[in-house]
Amino acid sequence: MGNVLLDLYRIKYYNRNMILPESDKALHIIWELEYEMLNERNCGYTGSDMKKRLWEIKMRVDKAIAKAPTYHGDPNYEQEYLVEKIKGANHNLIDRKICKDNKEDIVLILKEWIKNNDIDVVITTGGTGLTGRDITPEAIDEIADKQIPGFGEVFRTISLKTVGTSAIQSRACAVLANGKYVFALPGSSGGVTDAWDGILKHQLDINHKPCNFVELFPRLKEK
């Protein structure tokens, strides 16, 4: 039944010359790939072919995510997305909080976390844009000992490839505070993906070469 439905969808798609958004195009490729793998008549489908098609799917899905507006159906969506990334890299999630766009409240939470000896890295999502309610960078400035300007520069360079010149609207940033790294990421899953996959998953890996943030921990508070 799955193959029949899929085949009907393929016929409908091609016959009507439908113009689909990137997300639906990616879904169509997934269905098409599944159809070709399950089709008994397809004897020449190789592992290399499959990997190539899966890579194409990934590129299309990433593009669709980057173009999508912030998802508001579930207020915890972006946070859960980041939690999945953090745990997937074998890091320990010590604490998490959801806070309204109130500078004083954000500062209080940040101060609490940078005093916690069990926490090495603090990551925030949201509030890094240009509107009046986007005050996360200002809150982080309140607890900062040293700026890490390269983080925002590299982040916007990466985002330029996914969202074009809209990357200029992001004020994603990073600082050092009491020997901890504090990163402020955008609130969209696309922004989180750019920051994590493009920077943090590498820099928070002790094995990343030629250098990484982790190896600097013993020296962050040296005089």
Whether pTM > 0.85 for this model: the answer is no
| In the predicted structure, residue 22 carries a pLDDT above the cut 60 | no
How far apart are the C-alpha atoms of 140 and 94, rounded to whole Å? Answer: 19
How far apart are the C-alpha atoms of 168 and 145, rounded to whole Å? Answer: 25
| In the predicted structure, residue 29 carries a pLDDT above the cut 90 | no
Instruction: Provide the Cα torsion 189, 191, 193, 195; round to 10°.
Output: -150
Taking residue 88's Cβ as centre, other Cβ atoms within 10 Å add up to: 10
Contacts 24+ apart (CB under 8 A), 144-147: 144/175, 144/176, 144/177, 144/182, 145/175, 145/176, 145/177, 145/178, 146/175, 146/176, 147/173, 147/174, 147/175, 147/176
Q: Pick the range with the lowest mean pLDDT from 94-103, 134-143, 168-177, 193-202.
A: 94-103
Higher pLDDT, 217 or 45: 217
| In the predicted structure, residue 215 carries a pLDDT above the cut 90 | yes
How far apart are the C-alpha atoms of 53 and 142, rounded to whole Å? Answer: 47
For 35, the token pair is 């159809």
What one-letter code names the amino acid at 102?
Answer: N
Which pLDDT does position 13 carry in this prediction? Answer: 44
Q: Pick the range with the lowest mean pLDDT from 22-31, 69-78, 166-175, 209-218.
A: 69-78
Closest CA to 187 of 68, 92, 64: 68
For 101, the token pair is 């766009």
What one-letter code names the amino acid at 80?
Answer: E
- Which helix (H) or strand (E) covers residue 174, if one does? strand 173-177
Which pLDDT does position 113 carry in this prediction? Answer: 96
In which order are the strands placed within the sheet that holds 173-177? 121-125, 180-185, 173-177, 146-147
Residue 108 CA: distances (Å) to CA of 75, 82, 124, 148, 155: 21, 22, 13, 21, 26
